[in-house]
Structure 1
Amino acid sequence: MMAESRTEEVISTSDPTVEVIEEIQPDGTVLRKKKTTRTITKRVLSTSTKESETSGTSSTSTITSTGSSSSSSSSSSSSEVLISSESFKDITSGETKETAKETTKEAAKETKETKETMETKEKEDATKSESKRAFKYKVFGEGDSQAHPFYRFLARFPLKSLPAQHQRPSPIKPVLYAYAPGWKVNRPKETTPEANETSEEKKEEPAPTTGSFDVDSLKWMAYLKFNNIDYDIRPAFEPNMSPSGKLPFLALSDGSFVTEDGFEDFVQMNGSPDAKLDINEAAEAFAFTALAESKIHAALIYTLWFEEAHFKNTTRSHYFGHHVPVLKTILAYQEKSSIVHSMLLTRTQIDRELIFEEAASAIDSIATLLGDSDYFFGKDAPSSLDAIVFAYLHVILTLPKVRSADDSGRSSELARIVRKHSNLFEYSQKMWRKYFSA
């Protein structure tokens, strides 16, 4: 009796190779199929046994299979069979079949999604076309819309793009948008009736806007003039028109803007340098700048916003006078509330006597530093410290006088402190005449 047993042992499996096959369907869609092939090395063992009652011996033979052919040997041995990708089609493993099924499912899913997307787009286009037709029928009625009287009427006014009739020319020189002019503005000279008869033939151009009632605006006006930078002034009263949300700012001919943080760099690149300060003078100028912008500034802010006489008659009308009365009052009190908040960030309370004592001490120190010189540190040209000190002195000294029974001279106290120092008063007048007076 012959008994035969056959066993297969997988020795190794190579990495699968994926091949994408694209098939164009009749509806125009593309069906993508993935073909995965791999090489499997197997060991095939086949053993035949002959049983006998008399001899109990057995012989074994190993068959090496390559496709359908076979061979035998007398000795018991094993051989390795390499199955190629072609023969693998007939001996497909369960894993490969599952991969093929998943690939088919993914391809079918992609095809379904593509069809759904195209159907959705077609529905949207149809809805738009239907809405256009409905509007067209509603306005012109059914039939040929071009024959409708209303359509023929509209056809007489076709839409055309015309060039601008007037374009604002680009500025030739920088334009400074700032609070302007100052507290006091020169009025035009009075003329006689005889002179008015010839005024139509020869009209005088209006005097240029000079100065400012705002310290920051006047400071940068002076600094630009000190460095021989020519510019025009445009009165502005809305801080939000500035890119930084604060006035002043400089508009250049190339369309760019210079705000407060960039003024010094702009001056150093485009202007003639002002007075050169050594290291010690620069450090001292920095200290006195901080002194003016903290102590004198606090006293000036208190005078403008907390002295009721100035707040109602001067400050409110200059900063917000371009608004209607109700809005002017609301905005003025909002700004006052913001100033109170900012002042309380650096002090525990707003004490008038302490504020003015500190301002008087700072003014005394600045007067001592100036001495009898034309400019600070005895220079032949003004520096940035001159621009800052001049701005504060000029705004304080030109502040309009307020006549009020309740004021008792409180609103002009800061100006009296400055006038005690004749060198500061003369310094302010001299700087104004030289750089600002027309």
Structure 2
Amino acid sequence: MPPKGQEGDSSASTDSNSNSFFTVPAPIKRLFDKFPLTTYPANELPQRFQPNTANQLFVFTDARGARHGRPSFNPQCLKWQAYLKFVGIDFDITASNNHASPTGALPFLLPALPADTLNPIPSHKLQKWAIEQVHCEEEQQLNLRFEVYASLLDHRIRHAWLYMLYLDSENFDAVARRLYVEPATTNTVVRAALSHQLQQAARDELLKNSRYIDAADLEGDAGGAFEALSTLLGEDEHFFSRPNPGLFDASVFAYTHLILDDTLGWKKNRLAQLLREHPNLVQHRDRLLKFF
């Protein structure tokens, strides 16, 4: 790339049976008395994360990409990186990973000074924070079709992306391994384990929606999504006829840019072929790339 509550109480008639059934055996109780279960708080920020005079956005990128503010190679990170640029919020990029995030996921943002404490803003709160800073519009309330078309990105296009990046062996070795695995560790055993974890996570995600994984079906669904997005955009420069790009433009750009980015080193890229069948989506990507 880019997530349970307890069941309700039993009725009063079953309370006595439930209490006896769930009694902890004495040996187990003595063990937990010595080593009680602890709920740990969110990860603390590493000490190198110090207050800054600029907003800091922590994303998946490399050192060179961070220095030059280049697009992240992770769609979720790139979505918010682009959105903040589109609404006119200045920030610096910091290369990071999920383990360094207080929430366990990227991106997150540390607001600029003045601030009494370090209060990182996770991705699901970034739009609200941005609206408070620059008083921009909230697209979801402006167009009822927003959520419908967003589901095309979150499901059809994302699923095809997961397959192309993680489950196509040639692309995994050429792209995902280089971007996500090799920077994380030099230990070959750990690299092998991390590679397996990444691929298994992608496989598990895809199997939530199907009994088996079919690359042709995933590509076909993505092609249909591109066609629908192309129709939605039409001859406009931005989605939903906005005068300036917004969150939906950023969400689309996060995938179209990375799919069309030959510098990533794709070995197989059927998604790029499907995307190029819609020149207005390609032109949309090229226009937004000028923000970087």
Q: TM-score, normalised by structure 1?
A: 0.51
Q: Is the 8 A contact 2:156 2:225 kept in 1?
A: yes
1:100-143 Cα deviation digits (max 9, x unpaired): xxxxxxxxxxxxxxxxxxxxxxxxxxxxxxxxxxxxxxxxxxxx
Aligned-pair distance for 1:432? 0.4
Partner amino acid, structure 2, of 1:295:
R
Q: Give the counterpart letter for 2:78 in structure 1.
A: L
Give the ranges of 4+ consecutive aligned residues of structure 1 lying more than 3 Å apart after TM superposition.
276-279, 399-403
Deviation at residue 329 of structure 1 after TM alignment: 2.4
Among 421, 427, 430, which residue is 2:287 paired with?
430
Match of residue 300 from structure 1: 161
State how 1:240-279 maps to structure 2 within 5 Å: 240-253=99-112, 254=115, 255-274=118-137, 277=139
Aligned mates of 2:278, 2:187 — CA distance in 1: 39
2:174 is aligned with 1:313:
yes
CA distance in structure 1 between the aligned counterparts of 2:199 and 2:279, rounded to whole angstroms: 33
- Aligned counterpart in structure 1 of residue 221 of structure 2, from 358, 377, 381: 358
Instruction: After superposing the two structures, state which structure 1 stretch, 239-248 or 339-348, moved more.
Output: 339-348
| 2:186 equivalent in structure 1 | 324
RMSD value, Cα: 2.2
SS in 2 for 1:349: coil
Q: Give the equivalent residue in structure 1 for 2:36.
A: none
Code of the aligned partner of 1:284: R
Alpha carbons of structure 1 residues 168 and 422: separation in structure 2 relative to 1, 3 Å: closer
**Identity across matched positions, percent:** 25
Partner of 1:177: 58
Q: Is the 8 A contact 1:223 1:387 kept in 2?
A: yes
Say if 2:61 and 2:73, in contact at 8 Å, map to a contact too: yes
TM-score of the superposition, structure 2-length normalised?
0.76
Structure 2 residue aligned with 1:372 = 235
The equivalences for 1:33-432 within 5 A come to: 170-181=51-62, 208-236=68-96, 238-253=97-112, 254=115, 255-274=118-137, 277=139, 282-322=143-183, 323-326=185-188, 327-399=190-262, 400-402=264-266, 411-432=268-289
Contact kept, 8 Å, 1:393 with 1:428, in 2: the verdict is: yes
Q: Any idea what SS the aligned residue of 2:143 has?
A: helix
**Hey, what's the Cα distance between the residues in 2 that align with 1:252 and 1:376?**
29
Structure with the larger strand share: 1
Tell me, in whole angstroms, the C-alpha distance in 2 between the residues paired with 1:169 and 1:242.
14
For residue 278 of structure 1, report the CA deviation from its aligned partner. 8.2
Q: Is the 8 A contact 1:244 1:259 kept in 2?
A: yes
Higher helix proportion? 2
What letter corresponds to residue 281 of structure 2 in structure 1? L
CA deviations on 1:35-60 (whole Å, 9 max, x unpaired) are xxxxxxxxxxxxxxxxxxxxxxxxxx
1:283 aligns to what SS in structure 2?
Answer: coil
Paired residue for 1:140? none
Report if the CA contact (8 A) 2:67-2:93 is conserved: no
Question: Offset of 1:178 from its aligned partner?
Answer: 0.3
Mapped to 1, the partners of 2:77 and 2:207 lie a distance apart of 24
The one-letter code of the counterpart of 1:359 is A
Q: Give the distance between the partners of 1:380 and 1:171, measured in 2 at CA.
A: 33
1:427 alignment partner AA: H
Question: 1:272: how far off?
Answer: 3.9
Report if the CA contact (8 A) 1:228-1:272 is conserved: no
CA gap 1:225/1:296 in 2 versus in 1, 3 angstroms: same
How big is the shift at 1:169? 6.0
Q: How many residues align?
A: 238
For 1:170 and 1:277, locate their aligned partners in 2 and report how far apart those are by CA, in whole Å.
31
Code of the aligned partner of 1:176: L
Structure 1, unaligned runs of 5 or more: 1-166, 187-205, 404-410
Instruction: Give the 3-state SS of the residue equivalent to 2:94 in structure 1.
Output: strand
Per the alignment, do residues 169 and 325 of structure 1 end up closer, same or farther by CA in structure 2, a change over 3 Å counting?
closer
2:57 corresponds to which letter in structure 1? L
> What amino acid sits opposite 2:90 in the alignment?
D
Say whether the 8 Å CA contact 1:396–1:414 is kept in structure 2: yes
1:233 alignment partner, SS class: strand
If you compute each CA radius of gyration, which structure gives the higher value, 1 or 2? Answer: 1
Contact kept in structure 2, 1:296 and 1:359, CA below 8 Å: yes
Residues 60, 74 of structure 2: 8 Å contact kept = yes
Whose RCO is larger (CA < 8 A, sep 6+)? 2
Give the CA deviation at 1:257.
0.4
- Stretch moving more, 250-259 or 420-429: 250-259
Distance 2:187 2:227 in 1: 40
Are the aligned partners of 1:181 and 1:209 in contact in 2 as well (CA < 8 Å)? Answer: no
CA displacement at 1:260 relative to structure 2: 1.7
The letter of the residue matching 2:175 is: T
